[in-house]
Amino acid sequence: NREWVTVIQGVGALGRQIPPFVVFAGKVLINVWFENLPPDWVLKVSPNGWINN
């Protein structure tokens, strides 16, 4: 069983990395699944796992 996620990552004009923005399909995140990720990562959910706008 596989699930898709949307990940947005970028680099600013001066070469500074922008923390990843990750969108999962669902209604809630279970925080214990992500305890080992860096604290600046942004994790969100949407009904289909995509960004709609």
- Its domain, for residue 10, covers 5-46
Residue indicated by tokens 């500074």: 16
Residue indicated by tokens 């596989």: 2
Measured over all CA atoms, what is the biggest interatomic distance in the chain, rounded to whole angstroms? 40
Closest C-alpha to 47, from 24, 22, 21: 24
Q: Is residue 35 part of a domain?
A: yes
pTM (two decimals): 0.76
Q: Is residue 12 part of a domain?
A: yes
Structural domains of the chain, count: 1
Closest C-alpha to 10, from 22, 19, 2: 19
pLDDT per residue of the chain (53 residues) written in tens, 0 to 9:
667 889 999 998 999 999 999 999 889 999 899 999 999 999 999 988 878 76
Around Cβ 29, how many Cβ atoms within 10 Å? 13
